[in-house]
Structure 1
Amino acid sequence: MSEVREHDSVCTDNSDEFPYKVPGQYFYEGVLFNQDVRKSVLESRDSIECREDDVFIVTYPKSGTTWILEIANLLLHPEKLDGGSEAQERSVPFLEFHLTGGSVDHIENMKKMASPRLIKSHLAEHLFPTQAFTKKSKIIYVGRNPKDNAVSYYHFYKSVSGFGYYKGSWDAFLQMYLKDHIVWGGWSHHCLGWWKHNHESNVLYLKYEDVKKDERGTVEKIASFLGKEVDQQTLERIVTHCSFESMKKNPAVNREDAADVDSSVSPFMRKGIVGDWKNHFTVAQNEQIEQYYKERLGNTDLQFEW
């Protein structure tokens, strides 16, 4: 098990240090959230009912969530390859999320769903429903290297209403990122918290960079984890369907028309590559994040490529 040090296990309310505020900003147990995250879900995590055959896709934001969700959805329901895609936000509940002013209650919807349920979340490990651990629900976690993740999250901040269509500079955003002053909490705390469960039989820990290297192998790995036998033809169809190029053209997963996303600023699915950080980081900024990475992950066995 990786060593998780004290400064990685608790974030602090450092709002005074950073003037930018996201809409409805609040801290809960050391993690920054915006108005789109239901505090009631965080407060009731010990009573949220989970099932043994639940499948949770858990990620730090902008780490391939939609991609892995689509793969898992098609493995659980291969008939959807022929029946047309249903928008993910309607077919897959987002555990802790709601659009402000909206009427969707994902917890209530989850209770009505047939098993196996596929559920999405960005919650840190220490805020996750306790029954998911005690009942050994299946959890697929996806982490992404902090350089590309920071860039992708920056563009997401700029294009989504829940982040207030961030207008600040890239450098100002990076400083918030490095100090864990970011919605859903600090990157290192999130990745390391879930890494503690890496060797548990009900947890599959994936890295975005590995998925990009071997998409077909990833589909096979997820199928095996879910206990699904898939014939070669279906496997190839899922791989093709879930390529970044195909998904970017698929309105069911690429939320170009979503009311809360300004795709003219940055599309929901932007580039999906490894190494885009080189187009954004200055030498000084790269040195900063290298130091951050060394301090947070240097003494652990969790390592990322970029």
Structure 2
Amino acid sequence: MEFPLTISFNAKNREEEEQDDRIYKKYEELILTLPDSTKDSPSLSSMSQFHPLRCYDGFWFGPEFVLLGVMAAQDHFIPRSSDILICTPPKAGTVWLKALAFATLNRNDQPCKQSLLLSHNPHKCVPFLEFRLYGERRLPDLTAVPSPRLLGTHIPYQLFPKSWVSSGLKIVYLCRNPKDTFVSYWHFNNKLIGEESYRESLDDAFDSFLRGVHLAGPFWDHVLGYWNASLLNPQNVLFLRYEDLKSDPAESLRRLAEFMQCPFSEEEERQGVLDKILDMCSMESLKNLDVNKNGSKLQFQTFKYRNDTFFRRGIVGDYVNFLTPEMAERLDQVMEDKLRNSGLSFKE
């Protein structure tokens, strides 16, 4: 399968390039009118100051190229009923889910020993709509990409155009306990920022998270959008929990494969295909691959992300090592209030 590695922007003539420029110029002008985290928030984390966030239809996005990608994808991505979208809030197990979905979907063409995941980061194998595809200030042509197209996004379900929802595409959503999600997000941002002078304090970052001012936040609205969609349309929206994936990865992978319409056969189970995929895609295995320890950086516009930035511990309950009991209780209370009467709970 060449799609993940050969996504490129076809050569365009001058008229087409000028048209792209006009489209993105319109988005840039709109972004300047949106609420800015450096001006409209009562307190700021260092990350917000370093990469200001903008509030778009109730959700926060930044840097600017991410929001450009969101707007362009909304207007120009044409989904197919065979598409599969891997959807998550940031730092909820995105890399792991992308790897599992990619390996499972392509297992006939790419047995584990030949998988592209051994030489390429999962984010390159399953590209983000708003980062890699539509955030480059040039509209990609995805019409030649064979089906099923496996794509990723952090875009909230509430921002999906009606054309996406009615297309019949498959949505796989993975969420994680908000306390672990926050801690992972805080570590990730500090790795990205790098400079000591810009490292955000835990208290500042936590305050921003509680107010919903973080990438694709508020967290509770992001989760609720997909949760409600899964209740209304379970045949097209699969709602998974990170904790279930950790406690019973085999059963979770079976559910994922069946949902993607490529279930494991009894013969495959006997031959250990499922177990081999789980082993290859485990966080420990992915983390220790040379490409993810020393490989080339993922680049979006002027931003470069080291592959090892996407891997840390992935432990359930790791938040106890960073959050005080009072902080954990505050976040639990916020989530309880926001999710009240939804049928969804993160109580441990």
**TM superposition score category, shorter chain reference:** 0.7 to 0.9
Other-structure match for 1:18? 43
Query: Would the alpha carbon gap of residues 239 and 40 (structure 1) be closer, same or farther in structure 2, given more than 3 Å must change?
Result: closer
User: Number of aligned pairs?
Assistant: 292
- Once residues 26 and 207 of structure 1 are traced to their aligned partners in structure 2, the CA distance between those partners, rounded to angstroms, is 28
Read off the aligned partner of 1:190 and give its amino acid letter: H
- Determine helix, strand or coil for the equivalent of 1:152: helix
- Once residues 223 and 50 of structure 1 are traced to their aligned partners in structure 2, the CA distance between those partners, rounded to angstroms, is 21
Matched, 1:83 2:114: yes
Other-structure match for 2:311? 269
Query: What aligned pairs does 1:102-113 form with structure 2 within 5 A after superposition?
Result: 108=140, 110-113=142-145
- Once residues 52 and 288 of structure 1 are traced to their aligned partners in structure 2, the CA distance between those partners, rounded to angstroms, is 41
Read off the aligned partner of 1:52 and give its amino acid letter: S
- Determine helix, strand or coil for the equivalent of 1:32: strand
Kept in 2, the 8 Å contact 1:138–1:202? The answer is yes
Shift of 1:303: 1.5
Other-structure match for 1:29? 57
- Once residues 235 and 26 of structure 1 are traced to their aligned partners in structure 2, the CA distance between those partners, rounded to angstroms, is 42
Read off the aligned partner of 1:83 and give its amino acid letter: Q
Read off the aligned partner of 2:214 and give its amino acid letter: I
Larger Rg: 2
Shift of 1:295: 1.1
Q: Which has the higher contact order (CA 8 A, sep 6+)?
A: 1
Query: 2:162 is matched with which residue: 118, 127, 130?
Result: 130
Matched, 1:96 2:130: yes
Matched, 1:49 2:78: yes
Shift of 1:269: 0.8
Query: Would the alpha carbon gap of residues 109 and 90 (structure 1) be closer, same or farther in structure 2, given more than 3 Å must change?
Result: farther
Kept in 1, the 8 Å contact 2:193–2:199? The answer is no
Other-structure match for 1:67? 96
Higher helix share: 2
TM-score (norm 1): 0.85
Shift of 1:238: 0.7
- Determine helix, strand or coil for the equivalent of 1:115: coil
- Once residues 303 and 165 of structure 1 are traced to their aligned partners in structure 2, the CA distance between those partners, rounded to angstroms, is 37
- Once residues 219 and 59 of structure 1 are traced to their aligned partners in structure 2, the CA distance between those partners, rounded to angstroms, is 17
Query: 1:221 is matched with which residue: 231, 235, 255?
Result: 255
Query: 2:180 is matched with which residue: 131, 148, 158?
Result: 148
Query: 2:227 is matched with which residue: 172, 187, 195?
Result: 195
Query: Would the alpha carbon gap of residues 256 and 83 (structure 1) be closer, same or farther in structure 2, given more than 3 Å must change?
Result: closer
Matched, 1:250 2:282: no
Q: Which runs of 5+ in 1 are unaligned?
A: 1-11
Higher mean Cα deviation, 91-100 or 272-281?
Answer: 91-100
- Once residues 291 and 341 of structure 2 are traced to their aligned partners in structure 1, the CA distance between those partners, rounded to angstroms, is 41
- Determine helix, strand or coil for the equivalent of 1:303: coil
Q: Alignment RMSD, CA only?
A: 2.9
Query: Would the alpha carbon gap of residues 114 and 31 (structure 1) be closer, same or farther in structure 2, given more than 3 Å must change?
Result: same
Kept in 2, the 8 Å contact 1:22–1:34? The answer is no
Query: 1:295 is matched with which residue: 300, 325, 337?
Result: 337
Kept in 1, the 8 Å contact 2:179–2:319? The answer is yes
- Once residues 330 and 155 of structure 2 are traced to their aligned partners in structure 1, the CA distance between those partners, rounded to angstroms, is 26
Identity of aligned residues (%): 31
Shift of 1:110: 3.2
Kept in 2, the 8 Å contact 1:256–1:268? The answer is no
Read off the aligned partner of 1:245 and give its amino acid letter: E
Matched, 1:280 2:312: no
Shift of 1:38: 4.1
Query: Would the alpha carbon gap of residues 203 and 160 (structure 1) be closer, same or farther in structure 2, given more than 3 Å must change?
Result: same
- Once residues 282 and 180 of structure 2 are traced to their aligned partners in structure 1, the CA distance between those partners, rounded to angstroms, is 19
Shift of 1:237: 1.0
Query: Would the alpha carbon gap of residues 176 and 24 (structure 1) be closer, same or farther in structure 2, given more than 3 Å must change?
Result: closer
TM-score (norm 2): 0.75
Kept in 1, the 8 Å contact 2:36–2:53? The answer is no
- Determine helix, strand or coil for the equivalent of 1:68: helix
Shift of 1:135: 1.1
